[in-house]
Amino acid sequence: MNLACIGHPLESRPRDPWIFLLSSLGFIVLLKHTLFFLQWFHSTFLRPPKDLAQYGPWALVTGCTDGIGRAFAFNLARRGLNLVLVSRNHEKLETVSNEIETTFPSIETRIVAVDFSKDASSCVRSIEEAIQGLDIGVLINNVGITYPGACFFHEVEERVWREIVRVNVEGTARVTRAVVPGMVRRRRGAVVSVGSGAAIVVPSHPLFAIYAATKAFIDQLSRSLHVEYKLHGVDFQCQVPLYVATRMASKVASIESKSMFVPSPDEYARVAIDHIGYEPRCMPHWAHSLQWCFAHCVPDRVLDAWRLSIGLKRREKYYAMSSSSYQVGFFN
Positions marked catalytic: 211
Q: Report helix, strand or coil for 332.
A: coil
Spatial distance between the Cα atoms of 111 and 89, rounded to a whole number of angstroms: 10
Q: Which residues contact 19 (CB under 8 A, 6 or more apart)?
A: none
Name 199's bridge partners: none
User: What are all long-range contacts of 218-227, with beta carbons under 8 Å and residues at least 24 apart?
Assistant: 218/141, 218/168, 218/169, 218/172, 218/193, 218/194, 219/195, 219/281, 221/172, 221/173, 221/176, 221/193, 222/191, 222/193, 222/195, 222/280, 222/281, 223/280, 223/281, 225/176, 225/180, 225/191, 226/280, 227/280
Give yes or no for a contact between 184 and 169, defined as CB atoms under 8 angstroms apart: no
Beta-strand pair 109-113/189-194: unpaired
Distances (CA, A) of 114 to 87, 126, 162, 181, 232: 6, 8, 17, 21, 30
Q: Using alpha carbons, select from 266, 303, 307 the residue that is nearest to residue 284.
A: 266
Give yes or no for a contact between 191 and 230, defined as CB atoms under 8 angstroms apart: no
Amino acid identity for residue 116 in this structure: F
Reduced to 3 DSSP states, what percent helix, strand and coil does the chain have, rounded to the nearest 5?
Answer: 55, 10, 30
Q: Report helix, strand or coil for 54.
A: helix
Q: Report helix, strand or coil for 171.
A: helix
Give yes or no for a contact between 273 and 294, defined as CB atoms under 8 angstroms apart: no
Strand (E) or helix (H) holding 83: strand 82-87
Give yes or no for a contact between 257 and 235, defined as CB atoms under 8 angstroms apart: no
